[in-house]
Amino acid sequence: MLELNAERRVRPALGARSAVSGAWDKDTAGAFVEQLFAKHHGEIYAYLVRMLRDGELAADLTQDAFVKAYRNYDTLEKPENARAWLYQIAHRVALDELRRRKIVRFLPWTGESHGAAPSAEHMAMELRLSGDLQRALNQIPERQRAALLLAELHDLTGLELAAALGVSHVAARALLTRARESLRQALAMERAVDAAAETNVSRPLGRGR
Amino acid sequence: MSLRFRPRPDHWASSHERARVLAAERVDQPIEATEDAWLNDHLAECQECASVAAAYAAQRAELRGLRRRPPTPPRDLWARTAAAIEREAPATSRGQTAPRRRSYPSAVPLGAISGLLVIAVVVGASLLSRPGPRPSIVGPTAIAASVAPIGSPLLRATPFVVAAANVGWMKLGADGKIEVYDTPVDRVCPAGEGADCPPIAEPTPRSIQLGQAPASVTRSPKDSGLVVVDADTKGNGGGVYVLPGTNATPRPTPTPAESPSTLPSAVVTEPPPTEPPSPPASSEPSPVDTTGSESPSTEPSASPSEVAISPSASVGVTASPTNGTIEIASDVIVVGESEAYSPDGAWFAFSARPADGSHGPDIYLWHPGDPKAIAVTTDHRSMFSAWLGGRILGSRGIATADPTTLLSQAFLIDPTTRHEAPLARTGTWRPSVDPLRRVAVYWDGFLTLDATGTELRPADGHLVLGSWSGAFAPAVTPTPSASAPESAAPPSEPAQSPAEASESPANASPTDSTVASPVAESPMAEASASASATNEQGITPVELASGAVRDWDARWDETGTHLAVWIATEGDPRIGDLTLYSVDSASGKVVTLKRVAALAGFSIGKGRLAWATPHGQDGQGNRVQVVAWTKDSVGSVESRESTEVLVVIR
């Protein structure tokens, strides 16, 4: 457990405990989560959007993740692990939601701007650039997808990745390796399907000549 | 290391499997030298494995490409989360799950969303710069949702007295004239008591005649004169007017030699005084284009220039018998919301471009007494960011290899000598630095030009609050300054209560003696002060917004502990989300205190934040709302409802 010094009692820092008892304290927890939110809400939201492909749902789950962090902040042993700990909460929230809702539909996510729907041209370009990648990501197992997203897009180190996924370092590396291979195969399949579809579309024109 | 758990080489099902696993691992981190050598040998001989390894590398690049468009969280996410936590707080059971609050449909404008979900979340320790129970900033009467902070004490139910600064605003009167209100705010109400709180007192307004309704109004800290940017400057082209205050400097007779501006000539509506002061810039080299070839119009404007000042002026700005209104810029599009007086009131700076669309924006400077504003940049891609002490802090879009992308470069300009000193770090657009020069709000990223090629807009990047570190110091040694002492001085009125001053950690900083020194002898001295005050700070940048941020306005109170940031909505650039933050510039801790929908143009300082609500907000008309704070309490008050648009005087 992290012991507080006098300064931290005055200004709660990440991982701080109640100044008096060391027990869960709502004021300290509130300040803690507030600080955590200011630093990390953007990336947590982004991670959940990438996992779930649904901005509204991701916002809800981001809220849930921070509420859970508030409720369980005293489970964080070291403040330097706060980011990975928060990702772990978000990861679990995402997996719970995926299991609960059985999300199987493909929701192409192409980024989001402030309150403005992306233009059709923008959508088309984004889909062309990343549609197959997004679809391939959606096809690989959720834990593998999480490992890839956390490592590649959210820059979690090996130990942070392991903490976020709730597995050992070795297991996290193995999961990441399997994820790369799964994504490679899924991507190859997606592109093969795309190529076949383009061939089918162009065939009638060829016959007409 | 994971290697000790990996199957030994002779346990692999095949050398190809081993190669693929190693190739995947090598994407993430270096592998052992022997493994690396073996893999290289294998890939050299096995085309199939080599293609797999290449696919892993390409896959990584593609994945990382997704970073270019990070999802942007809803702006009300903290409000929703804080509300959920607040509901959670009273519960003694940990197993209770906070109910979710769904987002509003995307079809609803963000401003409206914010207005409906306004949250007053206060952390007293930050707000009052001291430990202990947290007072609340609470929403005004019509705010739909108000959430008391975690652990906040019960709030008083009766109005209490504050010593906040006057609040001023303008609106179109029934007679077609502009009514100017200026009134003290000395009484606010705590949370939930807005309905019982009397509205802001509205003394008899002063009437002025303007050709167009104002888009923004800025008050001089020196003589209470007003600079009015008319609404046409946000459309097809309009003017910038000065309504001199009580101690206005007499104006000189305008002559071409004294007006080396690329802007159209200003129109003087009153006879000039007999002894005009010499414009400080006239004897110094200036980057101003004096050819006039790029001026959209060199003829005096035919737009309404005569501004009738009502003799019945009774409050606020009082026109002296010999002073009238002058048009310091005409036929321009005023760009951005950053226009401001220097802290000492000796200069007024803004960004503008010609209404004819011939080129992009430049920074313009006006000195009280001058007939018109003068361009101090000529590259047509520069914008005024803020004042940094007595100097202009500007930023410029610089071309890159990608014709659609520009890199930003911030710089300082001495208003007297017009000497420009670029800052070392690039990629910083429109920084606004706190008075203690430790942190700044800026766009961290790239820019792009709009379809007309004249308007610079943020592209990939984020609006952040980050360190104003030594990296921002001027990249070149500036020339000695010829600034008058007052032009380099910080605000003459700290306007910080003794209690706040004594309790603020920032004010206890040893760097403050440098920062708060009355005069920086030279630009370099000022830059050194900046660097020395911030080199050791190094906070993690806090993202305030990202994505399609078209325009914003970030301003600090004089203590540097409160920051207000207004961000325009994409649909209507005159309406946006206004957020009040408490900032501990020493630690970088940022706390969101309040978020509301607001029209462009707000006023922060001397213990209060004032803004105008958009029409229809909460089903009501236009109002001026004020949040004011004292040592012990925080409260809000608002004006009576108006059917006309209100413009808060900055």
Say if the Cβ atoms of A176 and B28 lie within 8 Å.
yes
Nearest CA in chain A to B550: A114
Residue A89, pLDDT > 90, answer: yes
Q: What is the mean pLDDT of residues B121-145?
A: 31
Judge whether B484 and B368 are in contact, CB under 8 Å. Answer: no
Reported as a single tens digit per residue, the pLDDT across A118-130 is: 333 344 444 444 5
Q: What is the pLDDT of residue B509?
A: 33
B591 touches chain A (CB under 8 A): yes
Domains in chain B, number: 1
Q: Report yes or no on A186 lying in a domain.
A: yes
B444 touches chain A (CB under 8 A): no
Q: 């005087």: which residue's tokens?
A: B649
Q: 């809400």: which residue's tokens?
A: A41
Q: Report yes or no on B6 lying in a domain.
A: yes
- CATH number of the domain where residue A5 is located: 1.10.1740.10
- On whether both A141 and A167 belong to a single domain, the answer is yes
B210 vs B511 pLDDT, higher one: B210
Q: What is the pLDDT of residue B580?
A: 87
ipTM: 0.74
Least Cα separation, residue A204 to chain B (angstroms): 33
The beta strand positions in chain A, using DSSP E, are none
- On whether both A58 and A89 belong to a single domain, the answer is yes
- CATH number of the domain where residue A200 is located: 1.10.10.10
Say how far apart CA B77 and CA B627 lie, in whole Å. 22
Residues whose CB falls within 8 Å of the CB of residue B114, separated by 6 or more in sequence, listed in order: B75, B76, B79, B577, B595, B596, B597
Q: Report yes or no on A37 lying in a domain.
A: yes
Q: Name the residue facing B131 among A10, A55, A112 (closest C-beta).
A: A10
The beta strand positions in B206-356, using DSSP E, are 206-208, 214-219, 226-230, 238-243, 267-268, 326-334, 340-341, 348-354
Q: Name the residue facing A115 among B81, B546, B570 (closest C-beta).
A: B570
Least Cα separation, residue A205 to chain B (angstroms): 33
B528 vs B247 pLDDT, higher one: B247
Q: Which of A105, A139, A163 is the last residue of a domain?
A: A105
- On whether both A74 and A121 belong to a single domain, the answer is no
Q: 């806090």: which residue's tokens?
A: B542
Q: Name the residue facing A46 among B71, B94, B101 (closest C-beta).
A: B71
Say how far apart CA B433 and CA B385 lie, in whole Å. 9
B201 vs B529 pLDDT, higher one: B201
Q: What is the pLDDT of residue A145?
A: 92
Least Cα separation, residue A200 to chain B (angstroms): 26
Q: Report yes or no on B207 lying in a domain.
A: no
Q: Report yes or no on A110 lying in a domain.
A: no
Contacts of A39 in chain B (CB under 8 A): 540, 542
Apex A193 CA angle, A192 and A195, nearest 5:
65
Residue A26, pLDDT > 50, answer: yes
Q: Given pLDDT bands bounded at 50, 70 and 90, which one contains residue A96?
A: confident
- On whether both A36 and A91 belong to a single domain, the answer is yes
Average pLDDT of every residue of chain A: 72
Which of B530-534, B535-539, B614-618 reaches the highest mean pLDDT? B614-618
Mutate to test the interface with A, among B20, B59, B67 (most CBs of A within 10 A): B59
Residue B397, pLDDT > 80, answer: yes
Give me B75's structure tokens: 């702006």
Q: Report yes or no on A183 lying in a domain.
A: yes
Q: Which of A73, A105, A137 is the last residue of a domain?
A: A105
Q: Given pLDDT bands bounded at 50, 70 and 90, which one contains residue A111?
A: very low
- On whether both A78 and A170 belong to a single domain, the answer is no
Which of B116-125, B338-347, B547-556, B566-575 reaches the highest mean pLDDT? B338-347
Q: Given pLDDT bands bounded at 50, 70 and 90, which one contains residue B200?
A: confident
Q: Name the residue facing A153 among B63, B89, B549 (closest C-beta).
A: B63
Say if the Cβ atoms of A50 and B71 lie within 8 Å.
yes
- On whether both A70 and A125 belong to a single domain, the answer is no
Average pLDDT of every residue of chain B: 67
| Burial (CB count within 10 angstroms: exposed 0-12, middle 13-18, buried 19+), residue B491 | middle
Q: What is the pLDDT of residue B632?
A: 67
How long, in residues, is chain B? 650
B256-293 per-residue burial string, b: 16 or more CB within 10 A, e: under 16: eebbbbbbbbbbbbbebeeebeebbbeeeebbbbeeee
B92 touches chain A (CB under 8 A): no
Q: Name the residue facing A115 among B89, B110, B151 (closest C-beta).
A: B110
Contacts of A62 in chain B (CB under 8 A): 73, 77, 81
- On whether both A156 and A200 belong to a single domain, the answer is yes
Q: Report yes or no on B56 lying in a domain.
A: yes
A168 vs B144 pLDDT, higher one: A168
- Bridge-based pairing of strands B326-334 and B340-341 is unpaired
Say if the Cβ atoms of A170 and B5 lie within 8 Å.
yes
A-proximal residues of B, 269-308, CB under 8 Å: none
- On whether both A98 and A121 belong to a single domain, the answer is no
- Edge-to-edge order in the sheet of strand B589-599: B552-556, B562-568, B575-584, B589-599
Say if pTM beats, i.e. exceeds, 0.90. Answer: no
Say if the Cβ atoms of B150 and A26 lie within 8 Å.
yes
Judge whether B186 and B616 are in contact, CB under 8 Å. Answer: no
Say how far apart CA B213 and CA B207 lie, in whole Å. 13
Say if the Cβ atoms of B149 and A30 lie within 8 Å.
yes
B8 touches chain A (CB under 8 A): no
Nearest CA in chain B to A72: B94
Q: Name the residue facing B72 among A63, A113, A153 (closest C-beta).
A: A113
User: Cα torsion for B516, B518, B521, B526, to the nearest 10°?
Assistant: 20
Q: Name the residue facing B81 among A37, A113, A173 (closest C-beta).
A: A37
Q: Given pLDDT bands bounded at 50, 70 and 90, which one contains residue B164?
A: low
Report the share of chain B in percent with pLDDT over 90.
12
- On whether both A180 and A140 belong to a single domain, the answer is yes
- On whether both A68 and A148 belong to a single domain, the answer is no
Three-state secondary structure call for residue B578: strand
Domains in chain A, number: 2
- On whether both A11 and A88 belong to a single domain, the answer is yes
Q: What is the pLDDT of residue B358?
A: 87
Say if the Cβ atoms of A30 and B85 lie within 8 Å.
yes
B60 touches chain A (CB under 8 A): yes
B57 touches chain A (CB under 8 A): no
Say if the Cβ atoms of B88 and A70 lie within 8 Å.
yes
B485 vs B323 pLDDT, higher one: B323
Say how far apart CA B85 and CA B511 lie, in whole Å. 37
Least Cα separation, residue A29 to chain B (angstroms): 9
Nearest CA in chain B to A172: B2
- On whether both A1 and A96 belong to a single domain, the answer is yes
A-proximal residues of B, 531-590, CB under 8 Å: 540, 542-543, 545-549, 567, 569-571, 587, 589-590
Apex A65 CA angle, A62 and A69, nearest 5:
140
Reported as a single tens digit per residue, the pLDDT across A117-171 is: 333 334 444 444 457 888 888 889 989 999 999 998 888 888 889 989 988 888 9
Q: What is the mean pLDDT of residues B547-559?
A: 86
| Number of CB atoms found within 10 A of residue B234's CB | 18
Say how far apart CA B367 and CA B523 lie, in whole Å. 19
Strand partners, B466: B440
Say if the Cβ atoms of A30 and B150 lie within 8 Å.
yes
Least Cα separation, residue B257 to chain A (angstroms): 47
Say how far apart CA A143 and CA A131 lie, in whole Å. 20
Q: Given pLDDT bands bounded at 50, 70 and 90, which one contains residue B196?
A: low
Q: Given pLDDT bands bounded at 50, 70 and 90, which one contains residue B538?
A: low
Contacts of B567 in chain A (CB under 8 A): 114
Strand partners, B179: B171, B207
Residue B574, pLDDT > 50, answer: yes
Containing structural domain, residue A127:
116-209
Q: Report yes or no on A194 lying in a domain.
A: yes
Contacts of A9 in chain B (CB under 8 A): 131
Question: In this complex, how many residue pairs, one in chain A and one in chain B, have their CB atoms less than 8 Å apart?
Answer: 178
Contacts of B60 in chain A (CB under 8 A): 152
Containing structural domain, residue B52:
2-68
Least confident of B38-47, B79-88, B95-104, B183-192: B95-104
Say if the Cβ atoms of A115 and B569 lie within 8 Å.
yes
What sign results for the dihedral spanned by CA atoms B546, B550, B556, B562?
negative
Which of A7-21, B135-149, B557-571 reaches the highest mean pLDDT? B557-571
How far, CA to CA in Å, does B537 sit from each of B65, B532, B591?
Answer: 32, 10, 18
Reported as a single tens digit per residue, the pLDDT across A54-65 is: 888 899 899 999
